[in-house]
Amino acid sequence: MNKAKINYVVDFLMLLSFIVTAITSFVIFFFLPSGVRQGRYQEFFGVTKDVWSAIHVWFGMAMILIVILHFVLHWNWIVCMTKTIFKRTKKNKKNKDKNKSVREGCKE
Ligand code: HEM
């Protein structure tokens, strides 16, 4: 698999884990609040709060790992862009080639 396909898969999984984490957080926050006395398991759509919580936490963990992987895959770009931005704002006259990375574009 080439790098573009790897990025596509990683970014798709990142979006998926974000959507599931976000939806489950909405369900827990708005429909399964804590401190409500019901004398039974709290449920939403026939699924207990424990299960909604577990889905939220596991997809949240996956999201953290995938975001870290995303950073690793784009590390060269992040370093290149950081150097470019700081070189441009520093007004360092010695560095004649300060806009080189901007002209050439940072490679991924
Ligand atoms: C889209 C971003 C996220 C949002 C909007 C969000 C929101 C929430 C909400 C609303 C709750 C329920 C709080 C309550 O009981 O009232 C919660 C619980 C929790 N979240 Fe997140 N969360 C997010 C991402 C994450 C991530 C990335 C993790 C890491 C694993 C995580 C871990 C947890 C844990 C451990 C709980 C407690 C679960 C429990 O009470 O059983 N969340 N979150």
The count of other CB atoms within 10 Å of the CB of residue 6 is 12
Q: Which long-range contacts (CB under 8 A, 24 or more apart) does 72-75 make?
A: 73/3, 73/6, 73/7, 73/10, 73/108, 74/108
pLDDT tens, residue by residue, 32-41: 988 777 777 8
**What's the pTM value of the predicted model, to 2 decimals?**
0.83
CA-proximal residue: ligand 1, atom 16 (nearest): 29
Identify the band that residue 45 occupies on the pLDDT scale cut at 50, 70 and 90: very high
Best of 18, 20, 28 for a ligand 1 pocket test (most atoms within 8 Å of beta carbon) = 28
Instruction: Write out residues with Cβ below 6 Å of ligand 1.
Output: 21-22, 25, 28-29, 34, 53, 56-57, 60-61, 63-64
Closest ligand 1 atom to 33 CA: 16
Cα atoms in the 13 Å half-sphere on the side-chain side of 16 = 9
Q: Are 22 and 67 in contact (CB under 8 A)?
A: no
Query: Residue 20 has what pLDDT?
Result: 98
